[in-house]
Structure 1
Amino acid sequence: MTLDRRLMAEWLGTFSLLATVVGSGIMAERLAGGNVAVVLLGNTIPTGAILVVLITVFGPISGAHFNPAVTLSFELRRDISPRDAGLYVVAQIFGGLVGVLAAHVMFEHRLIDPSTTARGGIGQWTGEFVATFGLIGTILACLKARPTAVPMAVGLYITAAYWFTSSTSFANPAVTIARGFSNTFAGIAPTDVAAFIAVQLLAAVLATWFFRWMLEDPAHG
């Protein structure tokens, strides 16, 4: 695929992901009657489901990264050039921001509304490390063993990680930046964004190295 089509796929995929994450969070809050567990469930299921759809649809076009941490991993593996990786990240961040705005418009929420939800501390950072490390591992292992399973595996992993990580599994710098602009259930205070991104990128690098060793063909080791 030409670069412009790949970038559009990354933009549109990340746009759709954030519209789903933020939109489902708003809808869940309005319908759950104050039950936070129900809100989280209402946010989790659409997110996992849309990931299966988006990766299936856009995987053949751009690889369906929708995530700078994934793009970084693929760049470290030399599956994408540094120049294209940088452009992917720009498209992802921009797409995520517009996706948040779209969700706000749909639900008649204030258009620009920075989050006040604090998500800091060792527990949250550890949760983000675990979530991102596991996401990268899921992708790389599936690509090695069964590439056609990637959409379902990623969707199921994120669905699970929403519940077993303390941070509810952002695992994505573009998602983290965009959610900083939404003072809704899915939000994160802008002051906490940088730490989340640092942990996510560190986890992506370490996971790439670890799974390169783990999955290496012994005959070529």
Structure 2
Amino acid sequence: MPSILLVVFVLQLAIHLVNTIGASTINSLLWVLYTRLLPSSSKASEEQTELKSQFMKVRKELNATSSQDEFAKWAKLRRQHDKLVEQLEKNKSSTDSTKTTFDSTVSTIRWIGTNGLRLFIQFWYSKQAMFWIPKGWVPYYAEWLLSFPRAPLGSVSVQAWGLACGAIVLLVSDAIVAIVSLAVGAGSQKAKEPMKVPSEKAAQGGTKKEL
């Protein structure tokens, strides 16, 4: 079984990643994987694509047909057009309903696996010490804060450890973003620097012949 210290750190890291990337972005990526990997969803997506292709073809042909000169052909194309529109709207409604259910399920699972699990751990281990502070290292008020709310005095509670992990993850994340930004900025600045062209005097001096 992994150490509770490691579990809390991984949870804080996962929560930070979700907050940084965004829940909607994660749901969209998972939805793409779901529609591609699940046979039924993949088949429905292919049918939707085929219907759209047929619709565009019929619509193009309908626009090119005169309702006065070729009424019979125009009427036939119009019926096909309306039927395809109805099928597309029906499939879209079904897909939207499935996606709404999928997003709700994924959001629930994600919350239970991150914030829900964090709250459970904080409740279950609230009276246990994550580790002990050597006696005399910190004053009494610091010991009390580190053991808050119900851990033994002189120890670090799971809540304090979670806050510390969250702060470390945030600092490291900000440092990585700053380093990447500096590297990208330096690279773009170097690319924008104009190439130095030798002056006319320097060119003449370089080609001057000795007598």
TM-score, normalised relative to structure 1: 0.26
Larger relative contact order (Cα-Cα within 8 Å, sequence gap ≥ 6): 1
Look at both structures and tell me which one has the larger radius of gyration over its CA atoms: 2
Give the TM-score normalised by the residue count of structure 2. 0.27
